Structure 1
Amino acid sequence: MSELTEKSILCRITDGLDLYFPPFLIVSGVVCNLLVVLVMRSAYFRSLSTSFYMMANAVVDTFSLISLLTVDWLNVNYPSTIYRGPDSHYMCKFFHFFGWVSSDVGVLLTMAMTLERGLAITFPLQSSSWCTTKRAKRVTVLVFIFASIKDVNFLFTSDTYALYESDRLCYVYLDSANLEIFWKFVWPWIHNVFLIVSFVAIIISNIIIIRHIKMSDKIRKAQHQLSASSATDCVTKAARLRQGSRKRQVATMLLVDSFTVIVCTLPFSIFTTIDSNVVILDGSSGERDWKRFISSMSFYLLYVNRCVNFYLYSWSGTRFREALLVVIGCKKNEQKTPRVATISYAKVNSVHTCHSIAE
């Protein structure tokens, strides 16, 4: 009796997730990602290559939420609304292919952002020529090409479940021994090695960025204690402080973003690897209920990652919040220009002038 009650509770929890959680993710995710795109196109961020990566990631996430999660929600809760005719397998080929590609692109763009920041910190003299929006656009194109090649097998092995045959819409058919070996043993390791390499690159780059932020804080404190010898020095130092503040804001947002990518992507990869090698017997209903619950949780966690960046940027970036207020019309776009500082013979006044310019 307790087992039946436990299964019933677990099923109700999963049903509630399937019914109410996706609409919330879709609406909030689309709105928030559009706001991220608008903020990244603002005057403060659009000249940074990292901002282009963030904007491209937001665009991919928006299309993924609209096309993939919406159809999955309809299929789980209202399966009769989904077309299952003779040509429906083409629909699943697209959904499977674009779903995996969009997930991999998100990981690769995050890796590209962190690697770029890490290289810019390690080689500061070359950063001005390496970290450009033009180069970021090229890297983004290469990211899409790589992800498409990696996931091209879904264009040939995807098909549609019959009505009420499964909670999911699409599956990978294994009509030969070679395909079965590939899906159960080869493909999981290809994907896991891809994730491991990406996560290691992200972690190493983040370590470099964190060390740079700590060193920058120490240098900034030392600079505030030094007096300026002339008005020109004040303007130069103020410009450097503003540029350093902007890069520090982007670096902080990037750290939070990359950590979230790892947390939200890893569970689904682990589940896919285990599920492709473990067979759930028909008679074990409790195991099927747990499998469905874990599958839904790990699946929706992927889409949480595609909705949460706006909140992470707002929490970790002061400049992002300021630009957001300008975008939504709550604040005027005041372009701050360096004021001409008068030469002061008093050391205290000179330092105060420098600080006022840098603000």
Structure 2
Amino acid sequence: MSHFNGTMNRNQSEEDLFGTPFMILNTVYPPFLIVSGLICNILVVCVMRTRFFQRQNISVYMTALALNDASSLCISMTSHWLYVSFDNIYDREKTADICKFLQLYGWGNCDFSILLSTTMSVNRAIAVSLPLETRSKYSSRKPKFVIFFLFLVVLIKNIHFVFSSKIVKMEYMRDKLCDVYPESESYRIFWEDVWPWLHVSFLVLCFFVIASSNGVLIRQLYVSSHLEIRRHQCSTRRESLLFTSGDMRSPLKHRNSCFCSEHSNGSGDSKQWQTITPMLIGESVLILLLTFPFSIQLAISNANAGHSQMLFSITFYMLYTNKCATFFVYLITGSRFRLGLKKIFYRCMHGKGAMRRRQFKETLHWINSLSEGLVYG
């Protein structure tokens, strides 16, 4: 009883001190997140359907992540917004079982996002580390089976919320709709002593794997950038030697050509993974910064049997901001993503026929400029 009285006094004092900012935050920010997040995630799905990304194995995971974020905003964030903004919106007797679904879905949705981000980082790190012939075989694996396996892992990990979640008993807790109320001593021990460390271990393992995979990707980007510089220097040197020698069949030309070709093998494949890698690094860093605080705060509060309204609200909205901000990370770090988004807007404004005519005109202009260069060169 002393725990609940202490929690009540703390929440009441926080409400007196931060009442107006919390009221504005809970009323305005959730609908903004819902609308902007839905638009951003729909745009991500549309870009993943463009020709370039359809050829990439990783686009299936990006599409699943966008759909997962959009559904979370529609279900979890909408339920939270209705509860914190409107009094008595939920009938506690008629909707007693709503928390069984919301808790399972809310925790599972966050875990699923983290696992998808981890899988994408590992997938790309392994792919860029393999030789070209092995890389093509590796990329042919079906990611849909991996996604289904991740879904089963999340379901098994969080299934216990179905048996223990209820609407909060204290009506003054305006920041939280659902909570766990152990009905047996064994489950109380599991919830307070085992589950926090289990969940924190899961998070630490995922983020360690993400950090290790990002290290591999950054190293590959560094090596690839140096190869690009050497390739450019090789090409410049070859052209200068040809200009000074004037012999188009010089053995020196042949040797430099072979040298350059050896370093340019697989350049098209290298360009593809270099385009997507910054997007994955940015997405994984974002999920680390915005998701980890809420998960750790929730696990620690469960372990200490305490609850801070201010800290919960801040980390909670950070978590759902991540589900909107992924689009902007892709937009900043992905040149191909920006190009795909531009094509989508052009197609929406002018139609598919205009898009084909524009591509035909650009190709024709390129052929004409190339032919003129050959004639006058």
Query: What's the counterpart of residue 202 of structure 1?
Result: 210
Paired residue for 1:352? none
Tell me the equivalent position of 2:279.
Answer: 253
Q: 1:27 aligns with which of 21, 32, 35?
A: 35
Asked if residue 266 in structure 1 is aligned to residue 292 in structure 2, the reply is: yes
After superposition, the C-alpha distances for 1:109-159 in whole angstroms (9 at most, x for unaligned) are 111111011111222342211123x52111111111111111111111111
The structure 1 residue matched to 2:100, chosen from 86, 93, 107, is 93
Q: How much has 1:305 moved relative to structure 2? A: 1.2
2:114 partner amino acid:
V
In structure 2, the partner of 1:178 is 186
Check conservation: 2:96, 2:167, Cα contact below 8 A.
yes
Q: Are 2:330 and 1:313 aligned?
A: yes
Choose the corresponding residue for 2:87, options 79, 82, 88.
Answer: 79
Residue 278 of structure 1: CA displacement?
Answer: 2.6
* Residue correspondences, number: 330
Q: 1:327 aligns with which of 344, 352, 368?
A: 344
SS in 2 for 1:84: coil
**Superposed, which structure 2 residues align to 1:150-299 within 5 Å?**
150-161=157-168, 164-167=171-174, 168-227=176-235, 240-280=266-306, 291-299=308-316
How far apart in 2 are the matches of 1:300 and 1:124? 42
Structure 1, unmatched stretches of 5+, are 281-287, 350-359
Identify which range, 150-159 or 218-227, moves more after superposition.
Answer: 218-227
SS of the residue corresponding to residue 196 of structure 1 reads helix
Aligned-partner Cα distance in 2 for 1:254–1:248: 10
1:14 to partner: Cα distance: 2.0
Is 1:75–1:169's contact at 8 Å kept on the other side of the alignment?
Answer: yes
Partner of 1:356: none
Q: Deviations over 1:82-132 (max 9, x none)?
A: 24334x233211111111111111100111111011111222342211123
SS in 1 for 2:69: helix
Q: CA deviation at 1:53?
A: 0.6
CA RMSD of the aligned region, Å? 3.1
- Partners of 1:157 and 1:305 in 2: CA distance: 28
TM-score relative to the length of structure 2: 0.79
Cα 1:296/1:152, change in 2 over 3 Å = same
Q: Which amino acid aligns with 1:71?
A: S
Q: How far did 1:313 drift?
A: 0.4
Greater Rg, structure 1 or structure 2? 2
Provide, for residues 43-95 of structure 1, a one-character-per-residue CA deviation record: whole Å limited to 9, x for no partner: 01111111111110000111110011001100011132224334x23321111
TM-score, length-scaled by structure 1:
0.83
